[in-house]
Amino acid sequence: CLSISSTSLSHRMLYVSYDFSDFLFFFQAEDGIRDAQESRGLGDVHKRQDPIAMHIDPLLKHVNQSTLEQKFGAKIRNVQVQHLLHMSSGISDYDRGNYSRDQFRRPGHDFSPIQILRDYVPAEFEFENPGSQQSYSSTNYVLLGLILARHSAGTLDRWESYDQLSVIPEALRPGFDESLFVNHGACSNSTQMHGFMAPGFYDPHQKGVVDVWHVSCAGGWTAGNYVGSVGDVAKFTHELYRPGGGIVSRTSQADMIRFGAGFHGFKFYGMGTFSLDWAVSTNQSNITAYGHVGDTYGYQSQTTYFPGLDAVITVATNICLLYTSDAADEEDSVDLGGRRIIKKKKREEMRRKGETE
């Protein structure tokens, strides 16, 4: 893989689909339970225990006369803000193949969060009781974005007017001048780095590597529209997790690394944070690490904090062979371009083929 480590604006890297924005929206969702003077004007509007519908429905009603309950049924009443952050809502991921198919059929189209929620998120929950299990779903961060837009954008019908950079404390913002969030336009408008998809990644009939530079950079909005340098992401990761960091309180830092077991039985996800022990430990040494992996079409990334060293390693590539989030979900390695996962998936395909013959 090609590591992108330049901090030049001309080499700004499309960094995430599922990581930097996760951290940012955890901070904003925390704002509602912090001291009012620390909340930068948002006030006590989104406590973690709040039902999400009480915050999102006013926006949906204004935009298209819909509600979350019309989409998901009565069970949505039990989904709280903390469930979105902890990946325990049971709401399915919007990117299950049909979204990526349509994005590549219409590369210039910027899918709005309203359209994603309406057309690509299944109405059925993945499990019965929100809060009882964990399963990673990017839809959780789209919904968190709608909560923030509802209270921060100043107008109900302009979700895109919400300033996502506002989540970074004002005193720290001068250090993040290579970071931006993209609501509209192709990646070519925001970075000189082309991104490449492996053959057959999104279409089994497609042959040859695909350059995705001219595909929309909106990336699911608050589930992954960040563009920036690895330097900015490393700085943010360190400030987020270090003792006494300036992003969230010590109490919230502890909550972020209180990991659940997911569907898989191993240490999986806290709040906005993957356990990454599996990625850095060896047979001889167990190492504690956490942070996030990131995927968007043609670009991959991982940012990892090592509490024992108070150090961060951040890596981004512009060659996408398979989702690093697949590896995080399976607690497996993506070494050598993800070959271990590829082999695993091939074994599963062969097994299924054998069962049908």
Q: At what angle do helices 20-31 and 230-241 cross, to 10 degrees?
A: 40
Which pLDDT band holds residue 351 (cuts at 50, 70, 90)?
low
> HSE of 228 in the Cβ direction (CA atoms, 13 Å)?
25
Q: Tokens 């690509």 correspond to what residue? A: 120
Which pLDDT band holds residue 338 (cuts at 50, 70, 90)?
very low
**Quick one: what percent of the chain has pLDDT higher than 90?**
32
Q: At what angle do helices 20-31 and 139-152 cross, to 10 degrees?
A: 50
Name which of 126-130, 167-171, 284-288 the model is least confident about.
167-171
| Between 26 and 224, residue with greater pLDDT | 224
| Between 230 and 27, residue with greater pLDDT | 230
Q: What is the pLDDT of residues 220-255, one digit of tens each?
A: 888 888 888 888 889 999 999 999 998 888 888 898
Per-residue confidence (pLDDT) for residue 322, from 0 to 100: 54
| Between 40 and 277, residue with greater pLDDT | 277
Phi then psi dihedrals of residue 296, to 5 deg: -150, 165
Q: Tokens 């399963």 correspond to what residue? A: 135
Handedness of CA 184, 185, 186, 188 (dihedral sign): negative
Per-residue confidence (pLDDT) for residue 215, from 0 to 100: 92
> HSE of 100 in the Cβ direction (CA atoms, 13 Å)?
17
Which pLDDT band holds residue 32 (cuts at 50, 70, 90)?
very low
Q: Are residues 187 and 195 in contact, defined by beta-carbon separation less than 8 angstroms?
A: yes
Q: Tokens 């929620």 correspond to what residue? A: 117
Q: What is the pLDDT of residues 97-145, one digit of tens each?
A: 788 889 988 999 999 999 999 999 999 999 989 999 999 999 999 998 8
Q: Are residues 238 and 312 in contact, defined by beta-carbon separation less than 8 angstroms?
A: yes
Task: Report d(CA 195, CA 183) in Å as an integer.
Answer: 18
